[in-house]
Amino acid sequence: MTAGTVAAPGRVAPGTAARGGRSLVGGRGGIWFVLPFLLVYAAFVLWPLVYGLSLSFFDTSLVRSESQFVGLANYARLFSDPEVWRTLGVTVLFTIGSTIPLVAVALVMALLVQTGVRGQWFWRFAYFAPFLLPVATVALIWQWLFSGDYGLLNGVLSGLGLPAVGWLTEPDIGLWSVVILTVWWTVGFNFLLYLAALQAIPAQLYEAAEIDGAGGWRRLFSITLPLLNRTTGLVVVLQVLASLKLFDQAYILYQANGGPGGSATPILQYVYETGFVDYRLGYASAISYMFFVLIILIALVQARLSRRSEL
Amino acid sequence: MTTAPDTANPATTPLLPRARRPRSDDGPADVRRYTPLARAGIITALLVVAVLWLAPLIWALLTSLKQEADTTTVPIEVIPDRGFTLQAYASVLADGNLVTWFVNSTVVALVVTVLTVALSAAAAYGFSRTRFRGRNALFALTIAGIMVPPQILIVPLYRQMLAMGLADTYAGIILPQLVLPAMVFILKKFFDGIPHELEEAARVDGAGSLRIFLQIVLPLSRSILAAVSIFVFIHAWNNFLWPFIITSDPGLMTLPVGLVQVQSAFGVRYAQVMASAILAGLPLIVVFMLFQRQIIRGVATTGLGGT
């Protein structure tokens, strides 16, 4: 749409300006609307982003006043730092291990609720309420549930005649306890996204299928699930990006000790410890940046994959 | 198949409908399409999941209502012989800090919500309905911000705040939380869809951009502004990492940060730890009980908006 097709100056066919092109409609002084946001954005996102990058080239430490330019030394060091790779591995394992149940359980919840069984308010409340709890509340509750001797989980297991599990003490299990906590806490968000997608499917499709004699399972696999493909793609992307940022719940659940044998120390916790416990700000910035680049790469790969699957 | 819109069927009524449907409509006609057996299966599954999801909360509540000695019995006592008590709540509240943290959280979350929504709405309006040099480039720059996880900024941001003298201040907690580029994107998308005719008429009458923004665009956008506000509020209320890093003074801590102190302070006094956890979680749960529809709609509309 160009201004050339417009008959009278200053008038545009309805709807054309909405596309953000070069419409003739549009107020003056727009920069003043955008400026306050941009200033805050520049001060608290863009500037720290640049500052962090520059920090990563110095051996800056909170405890010394002067710092030296060390070039790429911080980056060279992180590639040979086993703790970087180990904690990155924890983050990746958590991301894979949590994304699958967080998507699958959310989908099952939404499908069940969408059947329209009585008690909609209650189901939505039960499934979504944990998402509204602050992370510290969630971590404290689960610390108590996971507790070895007096915890509810082991109490139930012993009631069933099963041996107790070291939820918070066994290196092979520590991270999975964080996964369980996270699924319980945040699945409600994905559940809502699926519910919204399900409600957008036209009922006529189901009515037509029913006239053709399709049963409940048939309707599920031939109509509902194929139509949810796009939503699933989006939910997976959002979930992977969210899971990669694991820190809060693991940090609080294990009271900053990183879990049994360090098995639940995500890379962001390593950044935090390097920066705020060891005060090695330059090195912490370098790890942050490496992780940032990784996140961007994963996002790009996901975007490409989901575009391809839509074709 | 009928041609008239089937309003009795929830699948055809608009997504998360605006009007409150009568209670009798909770179980829609839709359900009759399942055989009694299938229906029983669905209800069983729903109940099992609900029990799994509510059990941790109920267990925390029960623990908080016990005497300390009754929390650590083997085997577990669901209902203690000595009955329940509010002792744990009394001691936690008498401690005082929890109330301070609650006030801090409320102030921080409200200020963050108001400022974020104001900044984002103004920017979205500027990007959507006005023209100026560099608009598209600046919008692209804003959108690129969606890709920056706040977690990777903690080190430089902390140093910057120290240098600005904002460590351990409300401003230090609040300022970095005001930038949510995804909200600008969502609002811009909504503003783009508002018909231009109203605006043009106002312009002909001599209204400036500011008046059009305040008197035409904002009132037409109440639903999306509510959705964005809800999202931002939940986000700010539960935010942990940044407030945790920037505050060391217990008098300035927000609830999620203060609660971590409780963990070490109360140690094995489980009833008190659970009472604190529940008190910290309760406000949003109560708000959710009262405004479930609005909150669900708000989260659902903003949830996928950033992508």
Give the C-alpha separation, B278 to B46, whole Å.
25
Residue B220 sits in the same domain as residue B292:
yes
Residue A52 sits at the chain B interface (C-beta within 8 Å) = yes
- Over residues B86-115, mean pLDDT: 91
**Residue reference for tokens 């390097």:** A274
Domain stops at, among B92, B108, B141? B92
pLDDT value at residue A1: 34
Q: Mention every residue, 6+ apart, whose C-beta is less than 8 A from residue A257.
A: none
Parent domain of B131: 94-303
For residue A245, is it within any domain? yes
For residue A297, is it within any domain? no
Confidence of residue B303 (pLDDT cuts 50, 70, 90): confident
Residue A225 sits at the chain B interface (C-beta within 8 Å) = no
Residue B87 sits in the same domain as residue B104:
no
Question: Is pLDDT above 50 for B28?
Answer: no
Side chain identity at A26, as an amino acid letter? Answer: G
Query: Residues 224-253, chain B: which have Cβ within 8 Å of A?
Result: 234, 237-238, 240-241, 245
Largest interatomic CA distance in chain A: 84
Residue A89 vs residues A103, A236, A244, A286, B148: alpha-carbon distances, Å? 21, 19, 11, 18, 21
For residue B16, is it within any domain? no
For residue B144, is it within any domain? yes
Residue B140 sits in the same domain as residue B71:
no
Q: pLDDT tens digit string along B205-242?
A: 888 888 899 998 999 999 999 999 998 999 999 899 99
Q: What phi, psi does A69 have (nearest 5°)?
A: -70, 125
For residue B12, is it within any domain? no
- Over residues B28-33, mean pLDDT: 51
Three-state SS for B307?
A: coil
pLDDT mean by block of 10 residues, chain A; 311 residues: 36 42 59 95 96 91 77 92 96 97 97 90 95 94 90 91 92 96 96 91 84 82 89 91 94 93 95 92 94 93 77 52
Domain stops at, among B75, B92, B109? B92
Cβ distance A263 to A171 under 8 Å?
yes
Q: What phi, psi does A27 have (nearest 5°)?
A: -75, 165
Of residues A129, A203, A206, nearest to B285 (C-beta): A129
Chain B's closest residue to A20, CA to CA, is B128
Q: pLDDT tens digit string along A175-205?
A: 999 999 999 999 999 999 999 999 888 888 8
Q: pLDDT tens digit string along A49-88?
A: 999 999 999 988 766 777 888 889 999 999 999 999 999 9
Give the C-alpha separation, A207 to B18, whole Å.
25
Give the C-alpha separation, B221 to B194, whole Å.
9
**Residue reference for tokens 């003490």:** A169
With contacts defined as CB-CB under 8 Å, which chain A residues touch B212?
Answer: 27
In chain B, the percentage of residues whose pLDDT exceeds 70 is 88
What pTM value is reported for the model? 0.86
pLDDT value at residue A311: 52
Residue B193 sits at the chain A interface (C-beta within 8 Å) = yes
Q: Is A18's CB within 8 Å of B28's CB?
A: no
For residue A85, is it within any domain? yes
For residue A117, is it within any domain? yes
Closest CA to A115 of B291, B45, B50, B3: B45
Residue A300 vs residues A91, A293, A305, B24, B305: alpha-carbon distances, Å? 19, 11, 9, 47, 18
Q: Which two tokens stand for residue B18?
A: 């605006």
Q: pLDDT tens digit string along B129-157?
A: 888 889 999 999 999 998 899 999 999 99
Of residues A203, A231, A289, nearest to B9 (C-beta): A203
pLDDT value at residue B79: 83
**Residue reference for tokens 């104001």:** B118
pLDDT value at residue A5: 35
Residue B71 sits in the same domain as residue B100:
no
Total domain count, chain B: 2
Closest CA to B172 of B252, B268, B232: B252
Query: Residues 264-283, chain A: which have Cβ within 8 Å of B?
Result: 268, 271-272, 275-276, 281
Q: Is A38's CB within 8 Å of B284's CB?
A: no
Side-chain-facing half-sphere of B213: CA atoms under 13 Å: 26
Residue B55 sits in the same domain as residue B181:
no
Alpha helix (H) residue ranges in chain B: 36-64, 68-71, 87-94, 97-129, 135-144, 154-163, 170-174, 181-192, 196-204, 209-212, 218-220, 222-238, 241-246, 255-266, 270-290, 292-303
CATH code for the domain of A138: 1.10.3720.10
Residue B74 sits in the same domain as residue B139:
no
Residue B291 sits in the same domain as residue B240:
yes
Cβ distance B123 to B186 under 8 Å?
no
Size of interface A-B (CB pairs under 8 A): 336
Q: Which two tokens stand for residue B234?
A: 């939940």
Query: Residues 118-137, chain B: which have Cβ within 8 Å of A?
Result: 119-120, 122-123, 125-132, 135-136
Residue B80 sits in the same domain as residue B158:
no
Cβ distance A285 to A107 under 8 Å?
no
For residue B11, is it within any domain? no
Residue B55 sits in the same domain as residue B110:
no
Total domain count, chain A: 1
pLDDT value at residue A303: 82
Side-chain-facing half-sphere of A46: CA atoms under 13 Å: 13
Residue B40 sits in the same domain as residue B115:
no
For residue B191, is it within any domain? yes
Give the C-alpha separation, B173 to A208, whole Å.
55
For residue B20, is it within any domain? no
Q: Rg (Cα) of chain B, in Å, rounded?
A: 25
Residue B197 sits at the chain A interface (C-beta within 8 Å) = yes
Pick B135 or B72 by higher pLDDT.
Answer: B135
With contacts defined as CB-CB under 8 Å, which chain B residues touch A123?
Answer: 46, 50
Cβ distance B125 to B217 under 8 Å?
yes
